[in-house]
Chain A
Amino acid sequence: MTDDKKNSDGNDEARVGVFVCHCGGNISNTVDVEKVVAAALDMPGVTLAQRNMFMCSDPGQDLVIESIKSGKINRVVVAACAPSLHETTFRNALVRAGLNPYLYIHANIREHVSYVHKAPAATEKAIAMVAAAVAKAREIPPLEPITVQVTDHATVIGGGVAGIKAAIDLAVQGLRVALIEKSPFLGGHVAALDSLFPSGEKAGDILTELTKRLMSTPGIDIYTCAEVTSQDGYIGNFNLKVERRPLSSGDHALYPVLADRALNPGTDFIPFTGIFPVKPPVETEVIEFQTGSIVLATGFSLYAPRQGEYRYVDFPEVITLMDLFKTMSQEKKDGGYLEIGGRKIKSMAMVHCVGSRQVQGIHEPDEKGRLQENCSRTCCTAILNASTDIKKRHPETEIFHIYRDIRTYGKGHEEIYLKASEMGVRFIRFKVENAPRVQKNTEDGYAISVMVKDSLLADEELEVPLIWLYWRQA
């Protein structure tokens, strides 16, 4: 083998090397990889065919590199998983072997074969796919990458904690950053919180700390009351059109503070509202700019309960966790019972997983036919933390948790669960198929009650009397 042949970039006759990956059994349990190798050896243009437990591993990649360096092959086919996983991995191996990285064809015999077919048809399809890859490999020319200028600018969409943090970090990296927030305030959902579990830090303090850094870091343009109205371009050079609108009556309804006082932009935290960093425009402004990269940090919204679900809306006694947070922070007085609207709350129930962990056949899908199957991650600890706060300040108020699983998995969370139990908070577990029912009470003494089958008492139905408050987390 002469030297010029060794580093041939496709100018001489194609000598294809085929490498079949077992994927540690993901492929080889279904596909007869030995047969694939044998079949590959008979394909025109193939000068070498091998198999390996993990082609993507270093020893696997070395097989490819050695075969190229020795001159046996000048085109590579790896039959393995999806190219999205490892096409780049093997192209890099070609580069290390001194071959043009585009003299490479990836055959997906995992997602397209072993995951979806049974033997022996799987083996036949794998062979067919390898044959196609080999045929293609024989025809491909070497390619040279082009260089495209990238805009040194990043856009962060969403002015909550995630967006603020991302904007700061990107700006410190030396990029110009646009932070786009649709409301007049920064802070997102965190602004609607009071003290945070497990440390009891104030949400406002965290937001103030972050916003101070945001506003003192050079190179960040903050656009509130703003929305992206159009986007085109391509990776590295996007064109964005952002519309900033003046304050509307909707804003005034949503944020009473706007009417209460003349707001000066700054980093002061306005409780349950957020931080007012810049003045909204007097009339609609359209801003157009180029950006290299976009970070989406648009956050979440809370589950909207359907009419009658747990009698929310029907009964004023049924409220959400967010409502409770607000109520608790407004109530300054400590003592025997928690008071809401001047009424003493003798007992309350916290129903977990409203709109979370939905199960097909039990819960009704939304209008788009979707279920919210996932856990909302934060509610368990948030509710428990609120319970300990209530118990601390109002030890006489009885609290019942009506739950499916208690998921206090985070650092310092289990301790809150323990504390709540020690403070006398009571727990009733229900099975997903036995959703608790909320009912109005005709008898005097209490307003509503929750009927729940306790799975830890062999599904016996209990009546939890709720004097005034029942509360839901979505």
Chain B
Amino acid sequence: MQASLDLADQGFKVAIIEKDATIGGKMIRFDKVFPTLDCASCITTPKMAAVAHHKNITIYTMCDLESVERPEGLFSVRVIRRPRYVSISACIGCRQCEYACPVLASDSEQRGMSARKAIYIPFSTAIPQIALLDTESCTLCGRCSKICPTHAVDYFQEPEPLEFKAKAVIMSTGYQLLEEFAKRAYGEAADNPNIITALHVERIIAPSGPYMRVLRPGDGKEPKKIAFILCAGSRDQTLGVPYCSRVCCMYSIKNSLLIQHELPDVEISIFYIDLRAFGKNYEPFLRNAMDKGIKFIKAKPIIKGSGPGQSVILRYEDQEGTEGIIEEEFDLVVLSLAIIPAWNPDGKVALNKTDDGFLAQARPRSAATLTNLEGVFIAGTISGPKDIVDSIIEAGAASMEASNFIKSLDQKNKTAA
């Protein structure tokens, strides 16, 4: 979004191609951000609105990238737009369909911790405010179609190929979490609904979250003892990924502080290998958490199994202690899962990758957003884990490179003509 706005403000026409049903990425699903504790929505929603209303920007959601080629001069970007089963031009976002739908399905927006309808708008601040129908759970009862004031529901929509012509392409496909790590590392012991990921915590503490307060998902009880396990899959050559995911230390500290604010009596332990509070004002943030009684334990625990009342038993050795192996029961365990690439260019775009699966930067120092393809730029976590600050900086850099690239291209064409 930042790269699009920077380019659109310079007068370039920009198409945003998004695989999700709404723009906003991961950040719009967060509660607050470190180290300022600004609310994520307050920063993201206005950007989303600015993008939506910019005369030079068009948003295409639910699109899967098929190919990026440059036969001559212009890039040809081919995508397949998945069916929403709701007409984009007709839907007015009134949510009548959503209210009328009798089906309740697991809401992936809330990481499955609450329900949504089979036809729905992802969340109240989603852009565009257009409903989509989930064919997995839809019973084809027809109520949405009947009630829709603009006859926007269309059960017969087909995937639609689209082609864009562009002078430059910026890829910012982001990251995902190494979700299978828990199973891989802890086996059956991971089968406890009170072992959750950091993205669950973001939803639980968010004002638009599933419970409107801090509860654990297993049985809806208020947790009294919470463990955060850092490097769950990061810096782990055997079961996870060898690299550091860069943001887990900080967001776990942030989430602990926010939970402590909601539940003042809660006991929180953060298990770490190293504490990597390396950004501006991150270190005072860490000190603040230490002063506020968050426990930091240098240990890599394993999940031993479940205890009484759905609790989780951890087994660890505090490397700075003298007690040897400790077994301790927690009401809730949060895994800071490793960050892995969200998108693989293989077979679609001839972009080089590094060994970690992220995209390779052609000139990491002098021009970090350049790739091996001239005219294709990268920004954000597509090239490796990064925090919000660094991702936004790269977006600015990528738009500058793209702008300069287009300008030199136009100059060349002018000279040739």
Contact = CB atoms under 8 A, between A and B. Distances in A.
Interface in B14-63: 39, 41-42, 45-46, 48-50, 52-53
Given A58-B48, A373-B283, A206 B53 contact: no
Contacts of B282: 374-375
Contact of B129 (A58, A81, A172, A431): A58
A409 B244 contact: yes
A28 B358 CA distance: 41
Interface in B258-296: 274-284, 287
A210 B366 CA distance: 7
A136 to B, nearest CB: 23
Q: Which of B125, B298, B383 has the most C-beta atoms of chain A within 10 angstroms of its own C-beta?
A: B125
Contacts of B208: 24, 53
13 contacts: A23-B42, A24-B39, A26-B207, A57-B124, A58-B49, A58-B125, A58-B127, A86-B46, A206-B365, A209-B366, A374-B282, A375-B283, A405-B276
Given A173-B407, A407-B278, A89 B206 contact: no
B49 A57 contact: yes
Interface in A365-406: 373-375, 377, 405-406
B244 A196 contact: no
Q: DSSP class of B's interface residues: helix, strand, loop or mixed?
A: loop
A456 B283 contact: no
Contact of A57 (B125, B278, B279, B356): B125
A199 interface: yes
Interface of B: 39, 41-42, 45-46, 48-50, 52-53, 124-125, 127, 129, 206-208, 235, 242-244, 246, 274-284, 287, 298, 319-322, 354, 356, 358, 364-367, 383-384, 400-401, 403-404, 407-408
Interface of A: 22-26, 28, 53-54, 56-61, 81, 85-86, 89, 92, 96, 161, 165, 169, 172-174, 196, 199, 201, 206, 209-210, 357, 359, 373-375, 377, 405-411, 413-415, 418, 431, 455-456, 458
B125 A54 contact: yes
B41 A54 contact: yes
Q: Which of A24, A28, A206, A455 has the most CB of B within 10 A?
A: A24
Contacts of A201: 365
Given A206-B366, A414-B235, A414-B242, 17 more contacts: A24-B207, A56-B49, A58-B45, A58-B127, A58-B129, A89-B50, A169-B401, A196-B365, A373-B284, A374-B283, A405-B274, A408-B244, A410-B244, A411-B354, A413-B244, A431-B320, A456-B298
Contacts of A206: 365-366
Contacts of A357: 283
A474 to B, nearest CB: 15
A203 to B, nearest CB: 9
A59 B129 CA distance: 8
Given A57-B45, A374-B280, A458-B320, A165 B53 contact: no
Q: Which of B42, B246, B287 has the most CB of A within 10 A?
A: B42
A408 B364 CA distance: 17
Chain A CB count within 10 A is highest, among B129, B383, B404, B407, for: B404
A196 B364 CA distance: 11
Specify which of B282, B287, B366 lies most central, judged by the most chain A CB atoms within 10 Å of its CB. Answer: B366
A213 B33 CA distance: 38
Given A409-B276, A414-B243, A165 B366 contact: yes
B297 to A, nearest CB: 12
Nearest to A454: B320
Given A25-B207, A53-B207, A59-B124, A373 B287 contact: yes
Contact of B41 (A57, A173, A210, A406): A57
Determine which residue in B45, B246, B275 has the highest number of CB atoms from chain A within 10 A of its CB, and name it: B45
Residue with the highest number of chain A CB atoms closer than 10 Å, among B243, B319, B354, B401:
B243
A415 B99 CA distance: 53
Contacts of B383: 411
Contacts of B279: 375, 377
Contacts of A456: 298, 319-320
B49 A61 contact: yes
Given A23-B39, A414-B242, A406 B366 contact: no
A411 B245 CA distance: 9
A458 B41 CA distance: 44
A59 B52 CA distance: 12
A60 B208 CA distance: 15
Contacts of B287: 359, 373
A377 B279 CA distance: 7
Contacts of B354: 411
A407 B320 CA distance: 18
Contact of A96 (B53, B281, B367): B53
Nearest to B354: A411
Contacts of B278: 375, 377, 407, 409
Contacts of B298: 456
Nearest to B272: A405
A374 B125 CA distance: 36
A359 B125 CA distance: 41
Nearest to A455: B320
B277 A375 contact: yes
A223 B46 CA distance: 41
B53 A53 contact: no
A219 B239 CA distance: 54
A206 B364 CA distance: 10
B241 to A, nearest CB: 9
Contact of B407 (A23, A24, A96, A174): A174
Contacts of A405: 274-276
A406 B274 contact: yes
Contact of A26 (B39, B46, B242): B39
A217 to B, nearest CB: 10
Nearest to A207: B366
Nearest to B93: A59
Task: Please provide the 6 A-B residue pairs with the shortest distance between their CB atoms, ordered closest to farther.
Answer: A24-B207, A25-B207, A57-B125, A57-B45, A405-B274, A172-B404
